[in-house]
Amino acid sequence: MVYMKAITITDRQSIAEARRNLPSLIREAESGNAVELTRRGEPVAVLISCRVFERLATSHRSFDDAYRAFSDSVGLAEMELDPGELFGHLRDTVPGRDVRL
């Protein structure tokens, strides 16, 4: 199972500032921090390390594809499982409280 760490932007700089501070921004990105670059206060790009980019760019199977492969590998279709029979007792049948709107 693949779990991906969320990217946290740790710094925000204008493009003009980034030009002056490029070496330090690259070191920051290499250490795993993301830097947001702005133009007139609006975000336009994010500077990240190659390692983070490769992780994000790697294609992963969708849930649907992974589930289909699992289902085929264990023969779920042949088991003829009834979801109502398996999970019907898990749902609360008591109606909720009355709400005045």
Q: Is residue 9 pLDDT above 60, yes or no?
A: yes
Given this model, what pLDDT does residue 22 score?
A: 94
Q: Is residue 2 pLDDT above 60, yes or no?
A: no
Residue 29 CB neighbour total at 10 angstroms: 21
| Domains present along the chain, CATH in parentheses | 1-79 (3.40.1620.10)
Residue type, 33: N
- The better pLDDT of the pair 84, 32 is held by 32
Confidence grade of residue 101 (pLDDT, cut at 50, 70, 90): confident
- CB-side neighbour CA atoms (13 Å) of 38: 9
Distance CA 34, CA 30 (A): 9
* Stretch 73-86: mean pLDDT: 79
- The better pLDDT of the pair 55, 27 is held by 27
